[in-house]
Structure 1
């Protein structure tokens, strides 16, 4: 799995970094975590239409990645 070396530390979660991930939800597959949305989008296109790009937090040394969104009602 690719993880960019220039990701920012997630100050709220020790041992985690923030970046743009390429993921497939089911079955779970974290392709990599990238420093830019553009790099992540390029990789997602290579992987196929089941892969998505999300900005969030990655626990280093694992395949853990979390992201969230805001729903406005």
Structure 2
């Protein structure tokens, strides 16, 4: 996923809004997606994972969960 496909988080320069897929045990960032459907599909393919909307720092796996 390139950040050009995502909406910029204007309150946090260098951060972008998107859908995150996150695995648990151990916690690991599975990916950042432009659509909820893509994040859900990735999450469902990995047992024990979830997906949610977030602001993500470009080039990292740092995220802040965001209410929509």
Moved over 3 A (4+): none
Task: Confirm whether residue 38 of structure 1 aligns to residue 44 of structure 2.
Answer: no
State the 1:27 CA deviation: 2.7
Rounded to whole Å, the distance in 2 between the matches of 1:68 and 1:19 is 10
Aligned residue for 2:19, secondary structure, equals strand
TM-score (norm 2): 0.84
Stretches of structure 2 that go unaligned for 5 or more consecutive residues are: none
Stretches of structure 1 that go unaligned for 5 or more consecutive residues are: none
Whether contact under 8 Å (2:55, 2:66) holds in the other structure is no
TM-score (norm 1): 0.79
State the 1:28 CA deviation: 2.4
Structure 1 or 2, whichever has the larger Rg, is 1
